């Protein structure tokens, strides 16, 4: 039934991988530019967020499309799931450490709300 499709599957997967790599590379470079251009630490966190989330997952998706059904696919899925769960955790750890160390954004719109840790942050 799907025999006539067979010659088209590989080129279609190639095109899909190309799209994933190009969009992923775009976001990767945009996130890195953001880490250079954005003015202070709190803004750079979001630039790093672009690198850590969409760019990474798109690259891994592109590699999954090229790997076929094998053990390589499973390893790639494991890497993707692992990065999906750990990257927000480490971002939160960096942000929380900087907050406790008393680093605040430049030109902030409003004063930070009082929290229980204010006296520690000094």
Q: In the range 24-63, which residues lie near other proteins by CB under 8 A?
A: 24-39, 41-54, 56-57, 59-60, 62-63
> Would you count residue 13 as binding other proteins (CB under 8 A)?
no
Q: How far is the CB of 7 from other proteins (least distance, A)?
A: 20
Q: Does 76 bind other proteins (CB under 8 A)?
A: yes
Strands (E), 1-122: none
Determine, following the binding rule CB under 8 A, whether residue 9 of this chain makes contact with other proteins: no
Nearer CB in complex with other proteins: 9/90: 90
Least distance in Å: CB of 12 to other proteins?
Answer: 14
Exposure on the CB side of residue 61, measured as CA atoms within 13 A: 18
Q: Is 103 in the site for other proteins (CB under 8 A)?
A: yes
Is residue 56 left, alpha or beta, with left meaning phi > 0 and alpha meaning psi from -120 to 50? alpha
Q: Give the sign of the dihedral formed by CA 66, CA 69, CA 75, CA 78.
A: positive
| CB nearer to other proteins: pick between 7 and 37 | 37
What's the token pair of residue 115?
Answer: 């929290």
Q: How far is the CB of 39 from other proteins (least distance, A)?
A: 7
Give the residue, chosen from 9, 10, 12, 102, that forms a contact with other proteins under the rule CB under 8 A: 102
Helix boundaries (H) for 38-70: 41-50, 56-67
Q: What is the C-alpha to C-alpha distance for residues 12 and 9, in angstroms, rounded to an integer?
A: 5
């Amino acid at each position: 039934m799907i025999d006539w499709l067979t010659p088209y599957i590989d080129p279609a997967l190639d095109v899909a991988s190309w799209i994933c790599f190009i969009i992923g590379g775009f976001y990767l470079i945009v996130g890195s530019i953001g880490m250079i251009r954005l003015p202070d630490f709190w803004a750079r966190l979001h630039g790093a967020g672009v690198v850590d989330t969409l760019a990474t997952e798109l690259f891994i998706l592109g590699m999954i499309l090229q790997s076929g059904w094998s053990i390589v696919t499973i390893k790639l899925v494991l890497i993707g799931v692992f990065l999906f769960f750990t990257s927000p955790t480490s971002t939160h750890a960096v942000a929380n450490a900087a907050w406790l160390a008393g680093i605040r954004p430049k030109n902030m719109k409003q004063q930070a709300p009082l929290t229980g840790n204010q006296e520690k942050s000094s």
